[in-house]
Amino acid sequence: MANEAHPCPCDIGHRIEYGGLGHEVQVEHIKAYLTRSPVDAGKAVVVIQDIFGWQLPNTRYMADMIAGNGYTTIVPDFFVGQEPWHPSGDWSTFPEWLKTRNARKIDKEFDAVLKYLKQQCHAKRIGVVGFCWGGVAVHHVMMKYPELRAGVSVYGIIKDAEDVYSLKNPTLFIFAENDAVIPLEQVSLLTQKLKEHCKVEYQIKTFSGQTHGFVHRKREDCSPEDKPYIDEARRNLLEWLSKYV
């Protein structure tokens, strides 16, 4: 639950009860959760976890939602077997924990996942979606892999990013207005840099009154005033993938 005194990434939200429609597979040296699309259109989406790991039901729920819209989805274990963060953990140790899990050093795993999607799932058009830690990873891979058709970074921390504007393909950024981790000044700076330098399509959306984690970490029975924003953000995510992947 929320630790309001010391808000940290993804600390505000809930773990939903969800079993999943997909199954676990081995992708070279890592495990992954895979859900096949009901319609095989040669399209796939890599879904990148938050700090709570690849087995978090919330992330699998989002992956299955995306799969239901025509994409084979895969949620790889980008922590490569290391323990995810636990909500009851001592947040004072979080910075040290995070140092061993760098969202910008996932290329080896990402390469393996792309190879798997192309060879085993016959994917020809691939996008990527990530939440929090995964949002940072999306920002990274969208600057490095021209073959990715589109990316959606959902409340990915941007304060420590340099050269944030050299995106290779269309990228949607989703932020929350009341995010204790990502101040609006940082979003404004990102907006300014992209406007000045970015050569591809991008969009930045900040959702009024929302907190970090709102897209995938709030329960479906959340307060009525929040639900329209959650629904809109998820719809925007799917529309972005539909347009570019």
Catalytic residue positions, numbered: 132, 179, 212
Residues 6+ apart with CB under 8 A from 49: 56, 59, 75, 77, 78, 79, 84, 130, 131, 133, 134
The two structure tokens encoding residue 169: 């393909």
**Residue 92 DSSP label:** G
CB 73 within 8 A of CB 67: yes
The alpha carbons of the chain give a radius of gyration, in whole angstroms, of 17
SS3 139: helix
SS3 3: coil
